[in-house]
Amino acid sequence: MSSTTALSASYTSKTDNAPFTIELPLTAPKDSSVASKTEYLNKLRESAISMQERVNKELTQRMEEDNARAAAQGPKQTVDDAKEEENYGEEVQEDED
């Protein structure tokens, strides 16, 4: 006797990003035979790969939205890469005036 379950992922954000949920239906093995379990595991693996692709697509879209919002707010303070590299791994003492 097989039953239907689902592989699901949900995303919520503390920022302005829209939440999303992805559900992919799965049918449990028909019986306890090795062939049924192997078929189920193959479908589960395919669903996991599909799920990862869809999650990546959704998160990439939200990252692009974040970048567009940040660009609309104007430039923000940048890090001096040369100074950071020069002081890498060392404790930096602040200059006193």
Give 33's DSSP letter.
S
> Whole-angstrom Cα distance, residue 25 to residue 7?
6
| Contact by Cβ (8 Å): 47, 27 | no
For residue 9, being part of any structural domain is answered with no
Range of the domain at 30: 21-52
User: Which tens digits make up the pLDDT trace of 37-51?
Assistant: 999 999 999 999 999
Exposure pattern of 4-30 as b/e (b: 16+ CB <10 Å)? eeeeeeeeeeeeebeebebebebeebe
Number of structural domains the chain divides into? 1
- The answer on pLDDT for 89 being more than 80 is no
Whether residue 81 is predicted with pLDDT greater than 80 in this model: the reply is no
Residue 28 lies in a domain: yes
**Model-level pTM greater than 0.75?**
no
